[in-house]
């Protein structure tokens, strides 16, 4: 009986303190699947999507509702482009980092992740995720406010990629670090320590 009580308390502590909501189910988007959607907070409407197009303009795109915004890198020549972020970068308001910003999605809008590289010698300016593995930063409006999140996009081709995982902060207006995953909370670790003592004394 004592074991079950401790287990329940430990699980409660982990859930109470965990802030990173993490989805590590690998999904692929390509011309056969066409459109991939994520309802991140489970409220019945999608918050982030990936779309593959073929034909005269093959491309890999990121999309979403008007309440979703995509992190962009402000290029001095080309203007805003979707930012291909490294692990360990903070997704937040970007107030103090002028090289980053957000572009709000409008009805029917898409942002380019990859396409056939142009003749330009720097195709990364035009198709920032082409032949890369990188993190996509975004924000979306949940029922309780604005949330920041990331998606790990791997093995990006012209019209296909693996969406390896998607995560967001459960607390509104709270930054998230690209690559962050849920960790045991301090209270959970303390309960685990206490459980060990009680278990030892009960033997």
Mean pLDDT value of segment 11-36? 74
* Model pLDDT, residue 19: 83
Each residue's pLDDT tens digit, 159-190: 999 999 999 999 999 999 999 988 654 444 44
Nearest residue to 63 via CA among 73, 72, 50: 50
CA distance linking residue 82 with residue 29, whole number of Å: 18
Banded pLDDT at 123 (limits 50, 70, 90) = low
For residues 40 and 48, the answer to whether their CB atoms sit within 8 Å is yes
Entry pTM: 0.77
Banded pLDDT at 134 (limits 50, 70, 90) = very high
Q: DSSP characters for 129-184?
A: TTT--EEEEEEEEETTEEEEEEEEEES--SS-EEEEEEEEESSTT--EETT-----
């Amino acid at each position: 009986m004592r074991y079950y009580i401790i287990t329940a308390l430990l699980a409660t502590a982990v859930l109470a303190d965990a802030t990173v909501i993490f989805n590590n189910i690998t999904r692929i988007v390509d011309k056969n699947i066409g459109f991939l959607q994520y309802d991140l907070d489970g409220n019945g409407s999608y918050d982030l999507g990936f779309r593959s197009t073929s034909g005269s303009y093959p491309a890999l795109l990121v999309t979403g509702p008007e309440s979703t915004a995509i992190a962009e890198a402000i290029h001095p020549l080309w203007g805003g482009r979707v930012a291909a972020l490294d692990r360990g970068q903070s997704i937040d308001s970007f107030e103090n980092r002028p090289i980053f910003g957000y572009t709000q999605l409008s009805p029917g809008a898409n942002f380019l992740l990859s396409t056939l590289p142009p003749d330009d010698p720097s195709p990364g300016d035009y198709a920032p995720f082409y032949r890369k593995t990188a993190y996509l930063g975004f924000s979306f409006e949940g029922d309780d406010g604005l949330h920041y999140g990331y998606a790990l996009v791997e093995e990006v081709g012209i019209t296909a990629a693996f969406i390896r995982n998607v995560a967001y902060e459960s607390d509104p207006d709270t930054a998230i670090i690209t690559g962050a995953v849920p960790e045991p909370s301090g209270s959970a670790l303390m309960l685990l320590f206490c459980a060990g003592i009680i278990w030892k004394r009960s033997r």
